[in-house]
Amino acid sequence: MNFETILPKAQSPYAPIRLRDTFWWKFGQRIADEKRIFAEGYRHAGLEDYIGEKLILPMMQYVQRARFKDQNDQEFTGAVVDQGRALALVLAQEMNYWVPMAALYELNGRQIFDLGDELSEMLAHTDFGDTTLDKWQAPYTAFYVRFGLHEHIKLRNEAGELEYVDGAFIAKVPRSVDPDTEYTIQIALTTVSTDARADAIPGYFFDISPAEQQMPVREGLDQALARNINDLVVARDHAEHPEMEGLFTQYIALMEDCRIYMQSAAELIVNALFYLESVGSRRPPTSGRDTPPELEAQWMQATPEKKRKLRSRLTREGYAVVYLMGQELVGGRRPGGSGSKSAHWRRGHWRWQPHGAGREQVKRIWIKPVMIHSDLSPTDPPGHLYVTGAPPTPH
């Protein structure tokens, strides 16, 4: 395992492209190839032990060697060894979440849903009403949603630097092999720094339990974040070394400090999940924001068979093939006439609507937000191919 490949080679707008050359992502591909985890979310009973033996233990040894080098080749002291082990074990807490997430993303066809800029802004101005997450239908077991940078959704990392949340990996995984089992929704946030440098180390991860999915969305998210922080407190209280306890304490403080921003990110993500569910049917993917114009032109002119080959080439060369969402909303803002009043959003919301025989079933309906008193017209970034996208039919 080459831990030197910790930094991304591509500064793509899509985290899956940025992360695919990191050592932990490659390990995720490995466990997928070895069938230690399956596309439906089921995993081998010994997966965590395998990750510990084949990834985390070598990681600990690598960290210790790096710290030894930092000590100007002086002899290891017990403190240096313990600090290196503690750092690796805290990172291991994240690896046990992120490595399976990478594997599930690979196993489900590397699906990326790119929210158009106007759609992303509209979803950020949408409330949940009385809806809940427990009836949400996922387009895939695992996929990635990019929503771009929002000024109000930024976190502070261990170095004290600000990072913007630009998207999230999502997985809906079963809690047992029982076909009637409940599902946990897992969310892994991806970030970029203020100077647009990509962060290649796994970021914040949390899950939403079946019980929390049945609560009103905002209450359920608040409970989920609190529970995930409490899980770290329990891990800290059972730490074997003082250095580990200190590192857990720092990480918990970061989580608490960033909780309001994580809540904002989680709310935008849930709105995105509801939108993906609402648009429904299968549509073809297209080239992404990072595709060079010449390859984009080839994509537009290609037959379906050639597009399958071109998709492989784009991915191999470090570009993304995505479902670009929200094109139907471009140009949807109302003109503001004289512009004498301040532009502002009239917030949208989700609501349950009865339908079907006897109107006994319900589905989510999006009452879209509206920009009031604005004469602005959204424009698309040049050189990008937009297709009105919708995710595949849920399985």
pLDDT digits (tens, 9 = 90+) for 122-157: 999 999 988 999 989 999 999 999 999 888 888 777
Does the pTM exceed 0.85? no
How far apart, in Å, are the Cα atoms of 216 and each of 127, 132, 134, 213, 252? 11, 5, 10, 8, 26
Of 259, 60, 65, 238, the closest CA to residue 155 belongs to: 259
Torsion on CA atoms 260, 265, 268, 272, rounded to nearest 10: -150
Beta-bridged to residue 366, according to DSSP, are: 350
Please give the pLDDT value at position 175.
Answer: 85
Over the chain, what is the mean pLDDT? 78
CB 220 within 8 Å of CB 184: no
CA 266 to chain centre: 10
User: What are 325-384's pLDDT values in tens digits?
Assistant: 887 776 544 333 334 455 667 888 898 888 777 777 788 889 888 877 555 444 333 322
**Kind of pairing, strands 162-174 and 154-156?**
antiparallel
